[in-house]
Amino acid sequence: MRERVVITGIGCVSGFGIGPTAFADALLSGASAVRPITSFDTSHCRSRSAAMIHGFEAEAFTAPLKLRRVDAVGRVALACARLVLDDAGWVIGADGTDEVGVALGTCTAGLDSTVEYLRGLAKDGPTGVPAILFSNTVSNAPASLCAIEYGLRGPNVTFNQREASSLAALAFSVGAIRDRRVGAMMTGGADRIEEMFFKVHDRFHALSPMHAGEPEAARPFDRRRNGFVLGEGGFVVLLEGAESAAQRGARVYGEILGVGATASPTSVNGWPSEPSGIARAMRLALADADLSVDQVHAILATANGSPTLDRVEAAAVAAVFGSLPIAVASLKGAIGESGATGAAAIIAAVISGQRRLFPPTAGWAEPDPAVALELSATSRPSAGDVFLVNSVASGGTNHAVVVRGAAG
């Protein structure tokens, strides 16, 4: 019999501040973390805003001398690792542990160092590039740094499946615990907005543009949607076998009931153009959870304000749930799009289960006749504690997770 997988710790760094309480309070109030970018020049860009991290000082979590060798994503990941271990009450001795692994999803890890490295190489040649940069040019550096810092000798894996990265990492972690290959996994996602990354998205007109003097905004499922807004942050949970959690007397936030993953045929950078792949991922997750559609109380969607993706996901929901009324929300209007947003939705789901409140869809105001979903611009009472979380990547990777939140 496979091991049940529960959530015993949460660590997050977001545009709403540090920790799950700040994240939940802002999210449920309908706030948005999208604000003008000030860390680099956007004067020549169509888009000039993003959902940026707020109130984060890496030195509060990691010794300053160690931070000299850590890039932007690594700093967020290390902070989340400290937060999630403290929250879970998992004490690791000086010798470390084989019982905890790390699986991290990311789109942008390594980009800061890679861009700086290549610029120095092009300008001054090999002697002009600091050797200390090189170890951070690979995307698995943040997960490795977390393992080294806290002595986590279980599996160590990094997933770069673009916007679906953090749910891919979580799905791997669920499998490892179910098969009893490891006792617990620190998993989720971390991303920071790097200048080149932002400007490439802007150049290809993927982002919501400034229009008629109004700031750009992600408008998931809204009739006016015209592209997504990038986001950044770290959203990490500690997944643990239910037996281990019970033996430790750990607080349980919720349980991962089922996972599903598929691929949709599409162009290299395109969103799926038809719903079958997304629908199949949802059905696989429900089958893995041994649940029927009428046992799911709400859906946290992957919609990000893209004209194509939002319409296709709505069609996928209709294909799976039919005429069954079910509450739907997307977090992307509040926290933007990144490789960490799937994990953010898992955290939002368990918080919704605790508080019995379902978050609104920030940015949604004008219904689209092509999107027949139960949406709301304000928080509403949750009908129950079982949630389906979707995450879709440009390029066609689809993940779905069924999670049950524990009563608060």
Cβ neighbours of 251 (radius 10 Å): 14
- Whether 1 shows a pLDDT value over 80: the answer reads no
- Whether 131 shows a pLDDT value over 90: the answer reads no
Residue 82: per-residue pLDDT: 97
Q: 364-392 burial, b for 16+ CB within 10 Å, e for fewer?
A: beeebeebebebeeebeebebbbbbbbbb
Of 245, 250, 247, 206, nearest in space to 228 by CA? 206
Mean pLDDT for the chain overall:
93
When pLDDT is averaged across residues 38-45 and rounded to a whole number, the result is 93
Confidence of residue 197 (pLDDT cuts 50, 70, 90): very high
- Whether 407 shows a pLDDT value over 70: the answer reads no
When pLDDT is averaged across residues 335-351 and rounded to a whole number, the result is 97
Q: Residues 6 or more apart from 50 whose CB is under 8 A from it?
A: 34, 35, 37, 193, 198, 229, 230, 231, 232, 336
CATH number of the 5-248 domain: 3.40.47.10
Of 273, 237, 265, 292, nearest in space to 402 by CA? 292
When pLDDT is averaged across residues 374-378 and rounded to a whole number, the result is 96
Residue 113: per-residue pLDDT: 85
- Whether 126 shows a pLDDT value over 90: the answer reads no
pLDDT, one tens digit per residue, over 296-320 is 999 999 999 999 999 999 999 999 9
- As a whole number of angstroms, the distance between CA 199 and CA 111 comes to 13
Residue 386: per-residue pLDDT: 96
* Run of H or E residues at 402: strand 397-405
Q: Structure pTM?
A: 0.95
- As a whole number of angstroms, the distance between CA 154 and CA 86 comes to 18
Tokens of 309: 């993706």
Residue 119: per-residue pLDDT: 85
Contact between residue 256 and residue 170 where contact means Cβ atoms under 8 Å apart: yes
Confidence of residue 214 (pLDDT cuts 50, 70, 90): low
Q: Lowest-confidence range among 68-77, 250-259, 341-350? A: 68-77
Q: Lowest-confidence range among 69-83, 179-193, 210-224, 316-330? A: 210-224
Confidence of residue 118 (pLDDT cuts 50, 70, 90): confident
- Whether 153 shows a pLDDT value over 60: the answer reads yes
When pLDDT is averaged across residues 182-205 and rounded to a whole number, the result is 95
Q: Residues 6 or more apart from 291 whose CB is under 8 A from it?
A: 257, 258, 386, 402
Residue 215: per-residue pLDDT: 63
Residue 103: per-residue pLDDT: 98
Of 272, 226, 224, 217, nearest in space to 369 by CA? 224
Angle, helices 111-124 vs 195-203, to 10°: value is 90
Q: Which CATH number fits domain 256-405: 3.20.20.70, 3.40.47.10, 3.30.750.24, 3.90.1150.10?
A: 3.40.47.10
When pLDDT is averaged across residues 255-284 and rounded to a whole number, the result is 95
* Same fold yes or no, 5-248 and 256-405: yes
The 3-class SS string of 195-213 reads: HHHHHHHHHCCCECCCECC
Q: Please report, for the chain, the start and end positions of each structural domain, with discontinuous segments joined by +.
A: 5-248, 256-405
Helices (H), 325-369: 332-335, 341-355
Confidence of residue 268 (pLDDT cuts 50, 70, 90): confident
